Amino acid sequence: MKGRIERFKEWMEGQGIDVSIVLKPQDVAYLSGWAPVCSGLLVFREAPPVEVCIWLDAPAGKRNRLPLRMVGYRFPESSMAEKMAELIRERLASPRVIGIEKDFMTLRFWETIQKAFPKASFVPITRTLDEMRAIKTPEELRCLKKATLMAEVGMKAALASVRPGATEIDIASEAEYAMRRAGSEGVAFGTLVASGPRALLAHPYASSRRIGRKDVVVIDLGAKYRGYSSDLCRTAFTGEPSRKQKEFLKILLQAQEAAFRAARPGVKTEVLYEEARKVLAGRGYDRYLPDDIGYGSGLRQSEFFPVVLKGGQDVLQPGMVIALFQTTAYLRELGGIRVEDQIVVGERGYRRLSTLPQPVYD
């Protein structure tokens, strides 16, 4: 963790940032190794970092021998923002530049900091942390592989429970219990189970809807291991799928494989999108494809660097992990069929994290 903080501080030096306020749990965990609920991290350019958390949690951080100072605050007598402002004043009477995650910091938090330091300017730090987190170490890749194996256990349980009359929640509960039994720390995201018309929704969390006799059932789930998130999606059917559904599922798998084959160091993400689009275009499905089809993965199942999208300029590097398709060609008569897997970008190509096949219903 120390090396990560030092690299971040080097970047801060180049930007003239005196102190950065890190609040996003995944960023706090990445830099410090621990992110309890309601915690944040102060990274000073010229002083050791300080992690701030609810006072009851501070002793646990000290017992874990984290390489930084732990400071607790008592809520509601104080807030994390007030405690951080106090700690900044101890080291910097009047910071000139403060780094913030403006995609995560609340307005109330920012108002507290801005009031404490009215002469300071604020600059975004999110993109830099996203780029740092995108390149995985061998240990991070090992954690992601473990999380994927747990997700496969959950997916097998979910697929086995798909039947007419079962609710989407029934299927999700089977998957989540199986992942927990396999060692998952929790779900990487709210388990998505979508049947019938709900399969066309963007984020269809499992509902009380009962599965019909001729439904498409889309299952998207993930497990967590040491904070790292897997992401796996498979499509099932109750009853015999139509000829067009079978055809589209095969084409979707071909498009996914074409995109994966293009994943090499130095390649822009627009190339992956275009390779997938060309396969879908062979049957006219490309016009139903959204502009984004994949995202990076790590401490969060969907990171914002790199992003696989139309015209995407993010450049792939060894050690990146990406997941696609996170979207699909949305066409009502097909029923929102989706397939998603994570891959690791290697020096000469890619490696799948999941080996659980998607049934093709020949």
Q: Does domain 138-352 fall into CATH 2.30.30.100? A: no
What pTM, to 2 d.p., does this model score? 0.94
Fold of 4-134: Creatine Amidinohydrolase; Chain A, domain 1 (3.40.350)
- Catalogue the E-assigned strands of the chain: 19-22, 40-44, 50-54, 69-73, 97-100, 121-124, 192-195, 216-221, 224-225, 228-229, 232-237, 292-296, 303-309, 321-324, 341-345, 350-352
Closest CA to 216 of 178, 164, 256, 176: 164
pLDDT for the residue 101: 97
Domain range summary for the chain, segments of one domain joined by +? 4-134, 138-352
In angstroms, rounded to a whole number, what is the distance separating the alpha carbons of residues 340 and 2? 34
State residue 206's pLDDT score: 97
Average pLDDT, 10 consecutive residues per value, the chain (362 residues): 90 98 97 93 96 91 76 93 97 95 95 97 97 97 98 98 98 98 97 95 95 96 98 96 94 96 98 97 93 96 96 98 88 90 96 95 80
